[in-house]
Amino acid sequence: MILDKKVSLGFLPTPLHYMKNLSKKYNGYNIYIKRDDQTGLASGGNKTRKLEYLLYEAKVLNCDTLITAGAQQSNHCRQTAAAAAVAGMECHLMLDGTDSEKYNGNLLLSHLLGAKFHFNEGKRKGEDMALLKAELEKKGKKCYIIPYGGSNTIGMLGYINAVKELKQQLNELNLKVDYIFFSSSSGGTQAGITLGKDLFELNAQLMPVSIDKSETNGLSLEQNVLQIVNEGKHQLNIKKEYQLSDVNLIKGYDDKPYGVVSEDEVFAINEFALSEGIILDPVYTARAAFGMFDMMKNKKIKENSNVLFWHTGGLPANFYYADKLHQ
């Protein structure tokens, strides 16, 4: 089966557990968490699941070099560097901005993991990765390009498999969840969960919170998710015809630009840390968690329901944003 065509990078399954203190605080909701911050690869995160499939293909193609792109505090770049280290491959990262004398957060970890940096002001979504590939292949390298966020029909298999894992855990606990909140930015995680929900008959409403308004390859986030879903469904013999309405995003929490930490994200980080001893990241999970808290507080989702928050990792970025978080 296509879901078996992967390398092993993560410590799976990740935990699923009840958050009693937050459930008490947000009366009327039973709140659970899926801990993909504990996938294990270089401090964990959701990209580990995608990279298991992407790295498998890179090895099948006998590639010796991985290329990907992101912001300087990219969790995806950090985990790609770690995956390359495990596989004995070179890793080249195309990063937004300019080089600095002092590295911290994910940038420091990517450096420690052996990644080679290529700074490209104003381009964090891999606009010039093909040019870098051509340059490296002239030097004898065989390169495999991993798209921004690891989000394509190969990477999204990681989250189809994750839904299978979640469904098994829910069955073991005899638990049904009504809503699943998670952050959505490059689209691969959302596409995988969308297809996995249908493939494994998970009866829950998906609540993907938009993190980033900017387009990728000229497509809005919804269009990008829909494209991955419609291309990927054929690998799984899913007959359903998907429309934009099937990949609706929760918007309104992405008014601040990508990577800008506001009092909303700080609030969500504090709620999790002080109530459950769980650390969110300031860019993705904190923004999604604030959306969840706001919707529960204002009763925008039905009361007496079971709510799952899918933690996709990102802890190292907190150190970069220390001045925003230490108030």
Q: State pLDDT tens for residues 177-210.
A: 999 999 998 889 999 999 999 999 999 999 999 9
Same fold, 2-45+155-325 and 47-150: yes
Which member of 23, 43, 74, 183 is catalytic?
74
CATH of domain 47-150: 3.40.50.1100
pLDDT confidence of residue 124: 72
- pLDDT-based confidence at residue 221 (cuts at 50, 70, 90): confident
H or E segment at 280?
none
Instruction: Please report how many Cα atoms fall inside a 13 Å half-sphere around the Cα of residue 127, on the Cβ side.
Output: 12
Domain boundaries, the chain: 2-45+155-325, 47-150
Interval 42-86: pLDDT, tens:
999 999 999 999 999 999 999 999 999 999 999 999 999 999 999
Pick from 121, 117, 143, 148: nearest CA to 131: 143
Residue 74 catalytic? yes
Separation between Cα atoms, residue 31 and residue 6, nearest integer Å: 32
Q: What pLDDT band is residue 214 in, cutting at 50, 70 and 90?
A: low
239, pLDDT greater than 70: yes
pLDDT at 219: 78
CATH 3.40.50.2300 is right for the domain spanning 2-45+155-325: no
